[in-house]
Homo-oligomer: A and B are copies of this chain.
Amino acid sequence: MDTLSVELGPRSYPIVIGAQLLARGDEIAARIPARDVLVVTNTTIAALYSPALQSALAGRRVVEVVLPDGEVHKTLANVARILDVLVANRFGRDACVVALGGGVVGDMAGFAAACYQRGIAFVQVPTTLLAQVDSSVGGKTGVNHAAGKNLIGAFHQPTAVIADTATLDTLPDRELRAGLAEVVKYGLICDHAFFEWLERESDALLARDPAALAHAIRRSCELKAAIVARDEREQGERAWLNFGHTFGHAIEAATHYSAWLHGEAVAAGMRIAADMSRACGWLRAADVQRIERLLSRLQLPLDVRAIPAADALELMRMDKKVAAGRIRLVLLERIGAARVTADYPDEALRATLAAHFG
């Protein structure tokens, strides 16, 4: 078991990573000090891991909200449903919300915790690779709006993240690969050596080699924790973590959050962002190909030709990274070094979109 820390002064919290944390239960029990606990999960995960979580919380008052599974359900209406359950059970400010599931569950449970009585505690128990390496860490919570991804939400840090790597045993291959896209992201934006390690270990990761997965998760959390600690509210370098996401969010929104998994859209978005970096004269063509090669080896979908380029541009304008009417992009100076910029040739963006989208 590894314990990392997200250093945010009074809002610091641990990330506990290990196998069988749900089955053992002791870490869960210790990290959730509340008497009243609201577990938010989804139909898929409830069947698999809710009994273990309930056992770990024996003796508490535990209420469960089971939401439908999928990004399309990440809505304000479902957060309102969580809030209604908190109210109906008369949970007080000393209650704790536990998110048991992937990024969708974590984002909604965290947002409900942020809004209930102006903020109560919440603990992330991520059960997907994507949630374990990315979304459960850092306090971004929220829901989608028909017009764009994560447009409504709050910064609200969890009080603990407990990542049980054994839950990945039940994760479908497609979701595992989607999670690996976010792992690749860390290498691309800030750790060239980690990118090279991923190139070497891609087969082991796809084969779910426990040691390889454990390293990928730990290293991703280390990198994310360090970035969040330096820039909690995304005034600066935290925006690097959005690499591939502005293009990716447009892919997700264009397909109504149903055809692409978030990680898949990020993979395709990172490839486009890499190509845009090349079009701006930053990244070498050989490096773009190297990135494409790794994403392809991880069996991530990269073909977005079914989406019209004009639609993609329109949706990108609605993304949160717009300032003074201009889309800010996270681009790569090289593999392992990202930069946020609104200072790029419009023609390069147009050409890049045209080259990839339909």
Q: Tell whether A345 is near chain B: CB-to-CB under 8 Å.
A: no
B324 touches A94 (CB 8 A): yes
Of the stretches A83-91, A274-282, A350-358, the one at the interface is A83-91
A92 touches B322 (CB 8 A): yes
Q: Tell whether A119 is near chain B: CB-to-CB under 8 Å.
A: yes
Q: Tell whether A80 is near chain B: CB-to-CB under 8 Å.
A: yes
Of the stretches A17-25, A146-154, A200-208, A297-305, the one at the interface is A146-154
In residues 320-353 of chain A, which contact B (Cβ within 8 Å)?
320, 322-325
Q: Tell whether A174 is near chain B: CB-to-CB under 8 Å.
A: no
Q: How distant is the Cα of A320 from the Cα of B116 in the complex, in angstroms? A: 10
Count residues on chain A whose CB falls below 8 Å from chain B CBs: 35
Residue of B nearest to A146 (CB): B87
The minimal Cβ–Cβ distance linking A347 to chain B, given in whole angstroms, is 23
- Majority secondary structure, A binding face: mixed
Q: How distant is the Cα of A140 from the Cα of B115 in the complex, in angstroms? A: 11
Q: A197 to chain B: which residues have CB within 8 Å?
A: none
Instruction: Using known A-B contacts A87-B147, A92-B323, determine if residue A114 contacts B318 with beta carbons closer than 8 Å.
Output: no
Q: Tell whether A317 is near chain B: CB-to-CB under 8 Å.
A: yes
The minimal Cβ–Cβ distance linking A145 to chain B, given in whole angstroms, is 5
Q: Tell whether A52 is near chain B: CB-to-CB under 8 Å.
A: no
In residues 82-125 of chain A, which contact B (Cβ within 8 Å)?
83-84, 87-88, 90, 92-94, 114-119
Q: Tell whether A263 is near chain B: CB-to-CB under 8 Å.
A: no
Residue of B nearest to A80 (CB): B76
Residue of B nearest to A141 (CB): B118
B145 touches A90 (CB 8 A): no
B151 touches A116 (CB 8 A): yes
Residue of A153, A317, A323 with most chain B CB atoms under a 10 A cut-off: A153
Residue of A76, A142, A323 with most chain B CB atoms under a 10 A cut-off: A76
Q: Tell whether A60 is near chain B: CB-to-CB under 8 Å.
A: no
B153 touches A325 (CB 8 A): no
The minimal Cβ–Cβ distance linking A172 to chain B, given in whole angstroms, is 30
The proximity string for A residues 143-173 relative to B, scoring 1 for CB distances below 8 Å and 0 otherwise, is 0010110111111000000000000000000
Q: A88 to chain B: which residues have CB within 8 Å?
A: 147
B318 touches A93 (CB 8 A): no
Q: A92 to chain B: which residues have CB within 8 Å?
A: 320, 322-325
Q: A87 to chain B: which residues have CB within 8 Å?
A: 145, 147-148, 151, 318
Q: Tell whether A35 is near chain B: CB-to-CB under 8 Å.
A: yes
Q: A145 to chain B: which residues have CB within 8 Å?
A: 83-84, 87
Q: How distant is the Cα of A84 from the Cα of B75 in the complex, in angstroms? A: 13
Residue of A84, A92, A116, A320 with most chain B CB atoms under a 10 A cut-off: A92
Known contacts A76-B83, A90-B317, A116-B152; 14 further A-B pairs (Cβ under 8 A): A76-B76, A87-B145, A87-B148, A88-B147, A92-B320, A92-B323, A94-B324, A116-B151, A117-B151, A118-B140, A118-B153, A118-B154, A119-B155, A154-B154
Q: Can you offer 8 A-B residue contacts whose CB atoms are under 8 A? A: A76-B80, A83-B145, A87-B318, A88-B147, A92-B320, A92-B325, A115-B152, A117-B320
Closest 8 CB pairs of A and B: A92-B322, A87-B147, A117-B320, A118-B153, A115-B152, A87-B145, A94-B323, A118-B155
